[in-house]
């Protein structure tokens, strides 16, 4: 019960749920205008990765870092919230890919990999008392993820997103990123933040 109370109060759900809401709206756009799938679907999956990042924003990180519970229990609880958000994002990616008649497993894998990458970086920064790592990681993720789309349109390069079925090599690479991201985030969260002594 304490974990539920903490997650309800401490996690900035507004940012995460807003990302998922926009992602859901993009699915409707893709369904109505299929020609936009090349940009709409990548943008949608980037938003699902960004949603997981907001789970690690903690304005009072300097306060929680001087308590034993705050060094391990809080990061693990936030990681659980991020995992739930990432799984929800993967579900949206599957639904969107199904509407676009694309490989659903590739898009779900991409969503989980982006969520895992966001999580491990956010937990690492949280260990160093960065108060709101998720917000700027989410922004950087979306901007970096949209850059290849722009370049692909300008110089006619193949999109890095699975608009065409991934090869086994690409699929293995993204699966490795997903596993390493979530396992690394779990290891860092379980290790806990270095306990800081309160300043007099």
pLDDT in tens, 17-43: 998 999 999 999 988 888 888 888 999
- Per-residue pLDDT tens for 172-185? 999 999 999 999 99
Q: Are 115 and 77 in contact (CB under 8 A)?
A: no
End-to-end CA distance of the chain: give it in Å, rounded.
33
pTM score, whole prediction: 0.84
pLDDT score, position 59:
61
Give the C-alpha separation, 106 to 59, whole Å: 35
- Asked if residue 199 belongs to a domain, the reply is no
Our count of domains for the chain comes to: 1
Closest CA relative to residue 20, chosen from 79, 67, 82: 82
For residue 149, the enclosing domain spans 2-191
**3-state class (DSSP) for residue 60:** coil
Name the stretches of the chain with pLDDT < 70: 1-3, 5, 59-71, 192-200
Domain contains 200 = no
Does residue 176 belong to any structural domain of this protein? yes
Q: Each residue of 81-115: b (16+ CB within 10 Å) or e?
A: bbbebbbbbbebbebbbebbebbbbbbbbbbbbbb
Residue 196 maps to a domain = no
Average pLDDT, the chain: 82
């Amino acid at each position: 019960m304490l974990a539920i109370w903490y997650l309800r109060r401490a996690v900035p759900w507004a940012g995460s749920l807003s990302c998922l809401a926009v992602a859901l709206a993009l699915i409707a756009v893709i369904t109505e205008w299929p020609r936009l799938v090349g940009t709409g679907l990548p943008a949608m999956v980037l938003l699902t990765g960004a949603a997981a990042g907001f789970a690690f924003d903690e304005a009072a990180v300097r306060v929680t870092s001087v308590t034993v519970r705050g060094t391990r229990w809080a990061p693990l609880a936030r990681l659980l919230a991020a995992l739930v958000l990432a799984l929800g994002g993967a579900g949206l990616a599957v639904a969107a890919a199904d509407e676009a008649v694309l490989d659903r497993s590739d898009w779900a894998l991409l969503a989980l990999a982006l969520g895992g990458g966001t999580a491990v970086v956010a937990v690492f920064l949280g260990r160093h008392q960065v108060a709101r790592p998720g917000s700027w990681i989410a922004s950087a993720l979306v901007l970096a993820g949209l850059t290849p789309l722009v370049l692909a349109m300008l110089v006619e390069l193949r999109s890095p997103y699975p608009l065409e079925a991934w090869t086994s090599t690409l699929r293995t690479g993204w699966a490795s990123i997903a596993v390493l991201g979530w396992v690394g985030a779990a290891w860092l969260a379980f290790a806990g933040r270095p306990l800081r002594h309160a300043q007099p």
